[in-house]
Chains A and B, each alone.
Chain A
Amino acid sequence: MKGCGLKNAHPVVGFLYFLSVFLLSLSMSHPVIAAVSLLFAVFYDGYLKGKKAVKSIVFAVVPVVLFVPLINGLFSHYGVTVLFVMKSGNSFTFEAVVYGLFLAVKFLSVMFWLDCFNEIIDGDKFVYLFGRFSPRLALVISMTLRFIPMLRDGYSEIEKAGRGIGFSDSDKNLVKKFKDTAHKLSVLITWVLERAIDTSYSMKARGYGAKRRSAYSKYVFTSFDGLLCAVVAALSGLSCFCVFGLRALYNPIIIIDSFTLPDTLSFASFVMLLLLVYAVDIREKKLVKPFEERKPDGYLMYG
């Protein structure tokens, strides 16, 4: 399975990884680094979610990449390279468009990393990570995760039930429609309150509040997880050098720092950080392989 390396690792590893990538992507001001981050983010997202997702990704990327520079060009007028003068008398500058482009790239890369984060850190991991602060918070998150699909399903049941006895949605009258929705919500609320009573009984019956709560999780922190954390921390630390060191100026003229040798090394470690997720996947596959290839013993086949 794609992404299993990080999925099977301890949640702390995934959390640390994405936290570093977010922070780095947010703080970078060099266009090349931002572009690389975006490229890897889109690729990893497609890798995790498959062909279908790639299609929708492209549809999401193109408009933003075109739109943000245009808007920025229309409303910011700094810079020395005037492309043309607008009717209002303000100039539409090359610098503003380039800065807009950079902003779009940065914004998109954060969005795509967030999407990858969602894919790797599922509900269970989320509950675990935030439950570290307090077992009670863990319970609240877990209850919420149960509650949301229940509300959704409940509402659709109510809608169908109502239709079945003649409260149909295709009544054109807007006031009636509004009243109808209000009624459905009130059915939902009555039902939810009724449910809450039973839930509280069921919690009480199983000793909720009788003692200080502990928090259980299925996750085991292995030495490999420790190693991964260390690698992520080290690579992120090294990447900081180029991410914070290399700057770019867009106003009034574009000045982009060029890479020195230390910058290049630091940049290489950033790329390695982004490649790490594939490395852990390859390792995971290697772990599984020997079992797949094992053949049944001869005497079992012929005896």
Chain B
Amino acid sequence: MDKFDFEADNLSFFYPGETVPALDKISFRIAPGEFVLITGRSGSGKTTLLRALKPSLSFEGEYSGSRLFFGKDPASFPAVEEAQNIGFVLQNPDFQAVTHTVRSELAFGLENLGFDTPTIRMRTAEAAAYFGLEDIFDQPLSALSGGKLQLVCLASIIALHPKAILLDEPLSQLDPMTCDSFIGALRRLSLENAITVILSEHRLEKVLPVADRIFVMEDGKLTFDARPCDITKKELEKNDFLKAAVPSSARIVAGLGMEPGSALNVRDAKRLLDSVFPNEPAYKRIEREENGMETATPAVELKNVTFSYDESKRVLNGFTLTVRQNRFVGILGANAAGKTTMLRLMGGIYRSYAGKILLFGRNIKKYSDKELFRGTVALLPQKVHMLFAGNTVEEDLRRVLDTVDLPKEEKEELFSRTVGFFSLETLLSRHPYDISQGEMQRAAFCMAMLRRPKLLLLDEPTKGMDALFKRELGEKIRSLVKGGMTVVAVSHDSEFCAEYCDECAFICDGICSKPCPSGDFFSDNFFYTTEANKISRHIFENAVTETEVLALCRKNQNGR
């Protein structure tokens, strides 16, 4: 008989007092060493399912059907055995780390299970070596970046020698680079150590190429269970979420009428594109409209700005950048390149110690705090939850509204208009921590808009968002820009910037490149560019989005 790590048969789950199931008749078997990716919109039951696979973290409520862990049912599965065999990584690395140094964090689980000192010393050292953490072994956790911290959390679980690890959106707080190294570590665990990996995630482009199997959840149902290479065109058309979530390559290939499962990465998609165009195509360029960028007046100008947190290193060094009015500008760059610092300088939260910052032609130092933050500029932080403390979303929004200088009726009118624009009506009475990350982002956006700023600054607005939320956000920003606003976003998300930004620029080494139209920006880059560009750049000159690639393909095929 075959052995399975996890088996579920007609598993259903109801939260206490609910009549709609959170999990609806789910059946599957997961073999040892499988790498399973669970995906679906927020609220589709991903977390509930993952938690159901770890008895000590399972939500309270009514379970029916059966679930087996290594052939045992939850009642006969001792807590010690469970802690050792099934590891669980949560979304926010900051929240799940318990102790104060890397060393003690790695030892935490082992201490809980009463291991002796020599064993703990051996196992922690081994885990640290495997994940490349020796250099930071004695560092305090407060000094680590989010990516390193998440790796420490994983290593702390691996030190217990588990048979399976469950991960609940572990990538949502990481930037692309650390994201890659984290996925690499997971892949090694699955391939080299035959540890079962079950991971929930809504950004598929990174994980799909390494997964053995994909589960798609919809309203508590498991609607799709297949190998990634078996994803069909039909399935994409049926499932809006899946279509938006799969890598660009898959969508382009599907757009060309082929099966998306056959091209989940750039290399495979490029080969397929080559097979469509064996000879040089007739049309190679996308013609874009000129948007008169040089003529518009500047919204914000940074001239030779210098800034540093301590004497040893300058974060920005003679930084010069001009953002013209009525644009959506994306600023890309590596970690710690000074992106957030630049944004905070533009927003007047930091003061530069050399150079000049002009906001709408006037020196930022001449603005009073009131003029600056109430009507001129608004800055949304990366961690938007830092803005919420009320019992309801409405309470927090009203707190901002109270300090807006307008007559009462106009205030109310502004409120209902802004809330309507962000479709928050149904969320107003909810607790801010009970809504999803994307919804919270939207509420924070609304908060900033109540200030009616002329310049909106966004710090990683797409972090942790699923593809559909991203699209919605992009369209909202576009319509704000159309209405006369200037938006500057720093982001790691090339795909998002290519799709929605007018202009992009690149920060590196304390200085910034001149902003140029997104199309030119991405077609000139080699690494910092979109998948669509990487797939098509050997035959087309300047296509950077899927729509552009597909448009060129069609033009060539139809001959016009």
B450-470 interface bits toward A, Cβ cutoff 8 Å, 1 = contact, 0 = none: 010000010000000000000
Query: Chain B contacts of A190 at CB under 8 A?
Result: 388-389, 433
Q: Which of A17-25, A212-220, A282-290 contacts B (4 or more CB under 8 A)?
A: A212-220
**A161–B112 contact, CB under 8 A?**
no
Tell which of B92, B104, B370, B389 touches A187, judged by Cβ atoms closer than 8 Å: B389
Q: Which of B215-223, B262-270, B378-386, B552-560 contacts A (4 or more CB under 8 A)?
A: B378-386
Task: List the 8 closest pairs (A to B, CB-CB), nearest first.
Answer: A207-B83, A164-B379, A206-B109, A202-B96, A198-B95, A145-B100, A166-B373, A168-B369
**B373–A210 contact, CB under 8 A?**
no
Query: Chain A contacts of B75 at CB under 8 A?
Result: none
User: In the docked arrangement, what's the CA distance between A258 and B115, Å?
Assistant: 58
**B57–A201 contact, CB under 8 A?**
yes
Within 8 A of B (CB), among A221-274: none
Smallest distance from the beta carbon of A253 to chain B beta carbons, Å? 55
- Chain A residue nearest to B449 (CB atoms) is A165
**A164–B103 contact, CB under 8 A?**
no
Indicate whether A203 reaches chain B with its CB closer than 8 angstroms.
Answer: yes
**B140–A165 contact, CB under 8 A?**
no
- Chain A residue nearest to B84 (CB atoms) is A207
- Chain A residue nearest to B56 (CB atoms) is A204
- Chain A residue nearest to B153 (CB atoms) is A202
- Chain B residue nearest to A197 (CB atoms) is B95
**B114–A213 contact, CB under 8 A?**
yes
Within 8 A of A (CB), among B120-169: 120-121, 124, 138, 140-142, 153, 156-157, 160
Query: Chain B contacts of A139 at CB under 8 A?
Result: 98-99, 111
- Chain A residue nearest to B385 (CB atoms) is A191
**A157–B383 contact, CB under 8 A?**
yes
Indicate whether A160 reaches chain B with its CB closer than 8 angstroms.
Answer: yes
17 CB-based A-B contacts, threshold 8 Å: A124-B103, A139-B98, A146-B141, A146-B142, A149-B140, A149-B142, A161-B381, A165-B387, A187-B387, A191-B385, A194-B385, A205-B54, A206-B108, A207-B80, A207-B113, A213-B112, A215-B111
Tell which of B107, B380, B384, B433 touches A216, judged by Cβ atoms closer than 8 Å: B107
**A146–B100 contact, CB under 8 A?**
yes
Tell which of A123, A195, A205 touches B94, judged by Cβ atoms closer than 8 Å: A195
**B114–A211 contact, CB under 8 A?**
yes
**A123–B140 contact, CB under 8 A?**
yes
**A143–B99 contact, CB under 8 A?**
yes
**B373–A214 contact, CB under 8 A?**
no
Query: Chain A contacts of B373 at CB under 8 A?
Result: 163-168
Indicate whether B254 reaches chain A with its CB closer than 8 angstroms.
Answer: no
Within 8 A of A (CB), among B83-105: 83-84, 87-88, 90, 92, 94-101, 103-104
Indicate whether A46 reaches chain B with its CB closer than 8 angstroms.
Answer: no
Range for the number of chain B residues in contact with chain A:
35 or more
- Chain B residue nearest to A208 (CB atoms) is B112
User: In the docked arrangement, what's the CA distance between A234 and B533, Å?
Assistant: 76
Query: Chain B contacts of A123 at CB under 8 A?
Result: 100-101, 140
Known: A143-B98, A145-B100. A209 touches B447 (CB 8 A): no
B61-92 interface bits toward A, Cβ cutoff 8 Å, 1 = contact, 0 = none: 00000000000000000011011100110101
**A150–B83 contact, CB under 8 A?**
no
Indicate whether B117 reaches chain A with its CB closer than 8 angstroms.
Answer: yes
Indicate whether B244 reaches chain A with its CB closer than 8 angstroms.
Answer: no
Known: A168-B373, A210-B112, A218-B121. A205 touches B88 (CB 8 A): yes
User: In the docked arrangement, what's the CA distance between A124 and B105, Å?
Assistant: 12
Indicate whether A158 reaches chain B with its CB closer than 8 angstroms.
Answer: yes
User: In the docked arrangement, what's the CA distance between A209 and B385, Å?
Assistant: 31
Query: Chain B contacts of A191 at CB under 8 A?
Result: 385-386
Smallest distance from the beta carbon of B404 to chain A beta carbons, Å? 9
User: In the docked arrangement, what's the CA distance between A76 and B487, Å?
Assistant: 70
User: In the docked arrangement, what's the CA distance between A190 and B95, Å?
Assistant: 13
Known: A149-B140, A190-B433. A212 touches B114 (CB 8 A): yes
Indicate whether B33 reaches chain A with its CB closer than 8 angstroms.
Answer: no
| Residues in B lying within 8 Å of A, measured CB to CB | 54, 56-57, 79-80, 82-84, 87-88, 90, 92, 94-101, 103-104, 107-117, 120-121, 124, 138, 140-142, 153, 156-157, 160, 344, 347, 349, 369-370, 372-374, 378-381, 383-389, 399-400, 403, 433, 447-448, 451, 457
A117-151 interface bits toward B, Cβ cutoff 8 Å, 1 = contact, 0 = none: 00000011001000000010001001101100110
Q: Could you list 14 further interchain pairs (A-B, Cβ under 8 angstroms) beyond the known A161-B383, A201-B57?
A: A124-B138, A127-B100, A142-B100, A146-B99, A157-B381, A163-B373, A164-B379, A165-B373, A167-B403, A189-B389, A190-B388, A190-B389, A195-B94, A209-B112
**A186–B389 contact, CB under 8 A?**
yes
Smallest distance from the beta carbon of B371 to chain A beta carbons, Å? 11
User: In the docked arrangement, what's the CA distance between A201 and B95, Å?
Assistant: 10
Indicate whether A81 reaches chain B with its CB closer than 8 angstroms.
Answer: no
Q: Count A interface residues, CB 8 Å.
A: 55
**A210–B92 contact, CB under 8 A?**
no
**B387–A206 contact, CB under 8 A?**
no
User: In the docked arrangement, what's the CA distance between A123 and B379, Å?
Assistant: 37
Known: A168-B369, A207-B83, A210-B79. A194 touches B433 (CB 8 A): yes
Tell which of A142, A203, A213 touches B104, judged by Cβ atoms closer than 8 Å: A142
Tell which of B113, B369, B386 touches A211, judged by Cβ atoms closer than 8 Å: B113
Smallest distance from the beta carbon of A177 to chain B beta carbons, Å? 13
Smallest distance from the beta carbon of A220 to chain B beta carbons, Å? 9
**A210–B389 contact, CB under 8 A?**
no
**A165–B400 contact, CB under 8 A?**
yes
User: In the docked arrangement, what's the CA distance between A123 and B111, Å?
Assistant: 19
User: In the docked arrangement, what's the CA distance between A56 and B79, Å?
Assistant: 54
User: In the docked arrangement, what's the CA distance between A62 and B115, Å?
Assistant: 53
Known: A143-B100, A166-B403, A216-B121. A160 touches B116 (CB 8 A): no
Most chain B CB atoms below 10 A, which of A123, A145, A169? A145
Query: Chain A contacts of B80 at CB under 8 A?
Result: 207, 210-211
Indicate whether A162 reaches chain B with its CB closer than 8 angstroms.
Answer: yes
- Chain A residue nearest to B110 (CB atoms) is A216
User: In the docked arrangement, what's the CA distance between A199 and B82, Å?
Assistant: 18
- Chain A residue nearest to B344 (CB atoms) is A160
Query: Chain A contacts of B113 at CB under 8 A?
Result: 207, 210-211
Indicate whether A297 reaches chain B with its CB closer than 8 angstroms.
Answer: no
**A146–B97 contact, CB under 8 A?**
yes
**A211–B112 contact, CB under 8 A?**
yes
User: In the docked arrangement, what's the CA distance between A202 and B112, Å?
Assistant: 12
User: In the docked arrangement, what's the CA distance between A43 and B4, Å?
Assistant: 67
Indicate whether A292 reaches chain B with its CB closer than 8 angstroms.
Answer: no
Known: A165-B373, A168-B370, A202-B96. A135 touches B101 (CB 8 A): no
User: In the docked arrangement, what's the CA distance between A170 and B348, Å?
Assistant: 13
Query: Chain A contacts of B347 at CB under 8 A?
Result: 163-164
Query: Chain A contacts of B96 at CB under 8 A?
Result: 198-199, 201-202
Query: Chain B contacts of A166 at CB under 8 A?
Result: 373-374, 378, 400, 403, 451
Smallest distance from the beta carbon of A271 to chain B beta carbons, Å? 34
Smallest distance from the beta carbon of A206 to chain B beta carbons, Å? 4
Query: Chain A contacts of B56 at CB under 8 A?
Result: 204-205
**B83–A206 contact, CB under 8 A?**
yes
Query: Chain A contacts of B97 at CB under 8 A?
Result: 146, 202
**A207–B142 contact, CB under 8 A?**
no
Query: Chain A contacts of B447 at CB under 8 A?
Result: 165
**A124–B101 contact, CB under 8 A?**
yes
Indicate whether A2 reaches chain B with its CB closer than 8 angstroms.
Answer: no
Tell which of A161, A165, A207 touches B79, judged by Cβ atoms closer than 8 Å: A207
Indicate whether A153 reaches chain B with its CB closer than 8 angstroms.
Answer: yes
Smallest distance from the beta carbon of A231 to chain B beta carbons, Å? 27
Query: Chain A contacts of B104 at CB under 8 A?
Result: 124, 127, 142, 216
Smallest distance from the beta carbon of A259 to chain B beta carbons, Å? 46
Query: Chain B contacts of A206 at CB under 8 A?
Result: 83, 87, 108-109, 112, 156-157, 160
